[in-house]
Structure 1
Amino acid sequence: MSPSSGTMDPVRGRVGGGTIGGMDRDDRVEDLSEAECLRLLGTVPLGRVVYTEHALPAVLPVAFRVAADGRLVLALRTGTRVARALDGTVAAFQVDDFDRAGRCGWSVLVHGRAEVVRDAGERAALHSGGLLPWIPEPGPEYVAISPELVSGRRVRPDAADQDTCPAPRPHCA
């Protein structure tokens, strides 16, 4: 890579700084700290789990919660293949929130080892705490992902769109 084209970030697999293809990097896009990513995970109730099914990538929207120990606990319907496919594997989990009118938002991606929650007391506490699958029947079955890699990006609104992006929304701040 030449000095004018920036440097390669091996973790994120993209070029940072400098110019890309002769164009300046968009300064509206901001990489988020791990702490900010973890905070944002707690602001939305649904995300997408990415796993492998029949040797192909699969993506499923799921209800989730950030547990006190930092794990992401996914609520799945009992009896689906998803929990079996996830158990003991490395999975990805993605959440986002966007304001279409303001053309701003954020996205967080987590990679980590997934394990079925087998402890009956923990399952009962999750259920009584209101963590239910997006489609609640039959259910629930829980899978926990222990975050190992966490990354995120925020897209700030264009100057022309500043007034259309609602100020109270945390992703547009």
Structure 2
Amino acid sequence: MDRDDQLEELGADTCLRLLSTVPVGRVVYTEHALPAVLPVSFEVAPDGRLLLAVRRGSATARGLDGTVVAFQADQLDPVTRTGWSVLVHGRADVLRDPELVRRALRSGLRPWVGDPDPMFVSLVPELISGRRLAPSGRPVPHS
């Protein structure tokens, strides 16, 4: 990053709004006592939870249930060196409520790697942070 770049810290509401504009992010969790990072399809629920779509029976599904995880998504332009990045920390739990699972299915949310019988994980944000980067001399666009 150049010294002349402009960095803006983002509030939680802006972070959630930006997250809702991209379909894939990365979830960070523990697998076999080591950090693991995996791209996942997701959506922001109306109540602010993140719903992640994973393959049923996968190591990821097992590693996410009842644990504290990190989730990161971004939209970056390597040519202009602009964009944003959001980081969320919180507890992840497999969705077991049949109505919530039906809603996730109706929304079209599916795992990044196809699965006819997906599993959904709810991530309740406890810490949300984000940054937006714009070159110096250009105003930072507000969402």
TM-score by length of 1: 0.75
C-alpha offsets along residues 9-41 of structure 1, whole Å, 9 cap, x if unaligned? xxxxxxxxxxxxxxxx65511111112111111
The residue aligned with 1:136 is: 114
SS at match of 1:126: helix
Alignment root-mean-square deviation, CA: 1.8
Match of 1:47 among 2, 25, 29: 25
Which moved further from structure 2: 118-127 or 89-98? 118-127
| In structure 1, C-alpha distance between the alignment counterparts of 2:59 and 2:19, rounded to whole Å | 25
SS at match of 1:118: coil
Letter of the 2:115 counterpart = E
Q: What is the aligned residue count?
A: 139
Question: For residues 46-125 of structure 1, what are the structure 2 equivalents within 5 Å?
Answer: 46-125=24-103
Is the radius of gyration larger for structure 1 or structure 2? 1
- Post-superposition shift, 1:130? 0.4
Identity of aligned residues (%): 59
SS at match of 1:114: strand
Structure 1 residue 147 corresponds to structure 2 residue 125: yes
- Post-superposition shift, 1:89? 0.8
Distance 1:50 1:67, change over 3 A: same
The answer (yes or no) to whether the contact 1:78–1:141 under 8 Å persists in 2 is yes
- Post-superposition shift, 1:138? 4.4
Q: Which runs of 4+ in 1 moved over 3 A?
A: none
The answer (yes or no) to whether the contact 1:133–1:139 under 8 Å persists in 2 is no
The answer (yes or no) to whether the contact 2:5–2:135 under 8 Å persists in 1 is no
- Using CA pairs below 8 Å that are at least 6 residues apart, which structure has the higher relative contact order? 2
Distance 1:113 1:26, change over 3 A: farther
More strand by share: 2
- Post-superposition shift, 1:158? 4.4
Letter of the 1:141 counterpart = M
The answer (yes or no) to whether the contact 1:78–1:138 under 8 Å persists in 2 is no
Letter of the 2:107 counterpart = G
